[in-house]
Amino acid sequence: MIDIRQGYENHLPRRVITGRGASDRLAEICQGRGWKRVFLVSDRGVESAGLLTRVAAPLADAGILAGQFVDVSPEPPLADVALLAEQIRSAAVDVVIGLGGGSVMDATKVAALVALRGGGPADYVGIGKAGGRGVPTILVPTTAGTGSEATFVAILTDTAAGTKVGVVDPSLLADIAIVDPALTDGLPPAVTAAAGMDALVHAIEAFIARVATPIARGLALEAARQIGPALERVCRDPGDQEARDRMAIGSHLAGMAFANSSCCAVHALALPLGGRFHIPHGVITGCFAGALMRHNAPACTADFAALGTALEWGALEPRAFADRLDATARDIGLRAALDRVVVPTADIAPMARDAANNRRLIDPNPVAVTAADAERIYRNVLNVAG
Ligand SMILES: [Fe+2]
């Protein structure tokens, strides 16, 4: 863990409103802040699930909906975010609401910044480039997993370079995060499982990372307490509202935790694989968690016992903790989803190099991960052919 005598900073959303039905109060919340012109950002999936109308109609009835954009693509390209920023700027709004999963919230964060501060999204790629806050934002997640409403990171796609890029700056933190579990009630089972397991991995990695602050570790443990009894339950019974509630708050806490600590090697290995093959992020992180926690075992005996206790799995030995993660990935269908993807053996070494070179995610990992380690783990976990 970080040496607290050296000091550390924590960054959290300015205000968090939670509870079933909290998003029904959006118009009132905006009016309470004196925001009279509201811009709503979302995507077609949220629209077809009926959630866009549910949120937009009361804003329109209150006479404060000044514009909307519902064409955010997955892993939003920089050009789309530039277009969105232009629309926000020309609508001259007081606040931007991002309603959706990680892609919608990430696009909203950067577009709101660009709309006020000028330039283009590419100007803000990197760490600490914002130079101040953007148009105020309200982030409203419709999945329980990414935790993006709680973080100051946005992941976009540089289509020209063919890479994912990150905008990282505390100025991206939401003015208000609204965590309303009712918005997740209709999520398809595969999304519930992948996003939920990713939230669990965020909590674990935030807790064990070498850069974890005491606040992040507290948040991560509480995230584990919420997620542990709920993840398998909500995958078995999508109508279990109490489990939905726990997953929504758990993934939010896990997001705050890794924003103030770091994700680690599970995410380092997940990114090159997700970049090459279209596999849902949570399927990958869920299936690699066991193997990497086995790798981390020598440094994490006490931490895994604490996490196991929080998750209601018991104070497990490291090997049993890793086995339990593998069993969860199998039981909720993530293992079967990953097994359907055949990875050519020629891809393994380049992916392992990319993973090991990702210092941002490898350096915080409790045990060093070399390219050879990454290659061995890819071969163990993936369905490799050729
Ligand atoms: Fe993740």
The pLDDT profile of the chain, 386 residues, written as one tens digit per residue, is 566 566 778 899 989 999 999 999 999 999 999 999 999 999 999 999 999 999 999 999 999 999 999 999 988 999 999 999 999 999 999 999 999 999 999 999 999 999 999 999 999 999 899 999 999 999 999 999 999 999 999 999 898 887 788 899 999 999 999 999 999 999 999 999 999 999 999 999 999 999 999 999 999 999 999 999 999 999 999 999 999 999 999 999 999 999 999 999 999 999 999 888 989 999 999 999 999 999 999 999 999 999 999 999 999 999 999 999 999 999 999 999 999 999 999 999 999 999 999 999 999 999 999 999 999 999 999 999 98
**Contact (Cβ atoms closer than 8 angstroms) between residue 289 and residue 265:** no
- Residues 8 and 149 placed together within one structural domain of the fold: yes
Q: Rounded CA gap, 279 and 290, in Å?
A: 18
Residues 100, 21 share a domain: yes
Shared domain check, 192 and 147: no
CA of 316 to the centre of ligand 1 (A): 24
Can you give the residue range of the structural domain that contains 200?
Answer: 187-385
> What is the CA(285)–ligand 1 centre distance, in A?
7
Report the CATH number at residue 118.
Answer: 3.40.50.1970
User: Is the same domain home to 178 and 202?
Assistant: no
Q: How far is the CA of 215 from the centre of ligand 1 (A)?
A: 20
In DSSP terms, 384 is beta-bridged to: 343
- CA separation for the pair 143, 252 (Å, rounded): 10
List, as one string, the DSSP characters of 301-364: HHHHHHHHHHTTS-S--HHHHHHHHHHHHHHTTHHHHHHTPEEEGGGHHHHHHHHHH-HHHHTT
Domain count for the chain: 2
Centre of ligand 1 from the C-alpha of residue 88, in Å:
28
Give the relative orientation of helices 371-381 and 281-296 as an angle to the nearest 10 degrees.
Answer: 120
Tell me the CA distances in angstroms from 20 to 241, 245, 257, 298, one per residue in order: 9, 8, 22, 41
Same domain, 83 and 202: no
> Among 139, 160, 183, where does a domain finish?
183
Residue that terminates a domain, selected from 129, 154, 183: 183
Tell how strand 153-158 and strand 16-18 pair up: unpaired
Same domain, yes or no: 175 and 197: no
Looking at the fold, whether 63 and 77 belong to one and the same domain comes out as yes
Q: Are residues 146 and 225 in the same domain?
A: no
How far is ligand 1, taken at its centre, from the CA of residue 170, in Å?
19
CA–centroid distance, residue 81 to ligand 1 (Å) = 22
CA dihedral (202, 205, 210, 216) positive or negative? positive
Cα gap 203→219, rounded to integer Å: 8
Question: Are the beta carbons of 97 and 137 closer than 8 angstroms?
Answer: yes
Q: Are residues 81 and 124 in the same domain?
A: yes
